[in-house]
Amino acid sequence: MVFQDLFLCVFLHYKLKIMELLLITIVLLGLAFAGIAIKIWAKKDGEFAGTCASQSPFLNKDGEACSFCGKSPDEMKDCSDSKK
């Protein structure tokens, strides 16, 4: 009987820790989504500036064209008017 009580106590302790971790995770994800939503809401037309990877020298070391709009890094500053 003592073993069962000890097992139940340990089980409930870990269950509470998992629930606490889950709650913290949900809150942090909610804050991240809220931050992104506020940034989109605050920006003109809800667009992020410089979304092309070709704009970043850290991401595009070979000077390849953007896979979204097809422009090279030296052609345009943004992807707002993409090639069709």
Reported as a single tens digit per residue, the pLDDT across 1-60 is 677 787 788 888 888 899 999 999 999 999 999 998 888 788 776 666 656 666 666 777
Which pTM value belongs to this model?
0.51
User: Is residue 70 scored above 80 in pLDDT?
Assistant: no
User: Is residue 65 scored above 70 in pLDDT?
Assistant: yes
Mean pLDDT of 61-76: 71
Round to whole Å and give the CA distance between 26 and 28: 6
AA letter at 69: C
pLDDT band (50, 70, 90) for residue 83: very low
Q: Is residue 77 within 8 Å of residue 55, measured between CB atoms? A: yes
Q: What's 64's DSSP letter?
A: P
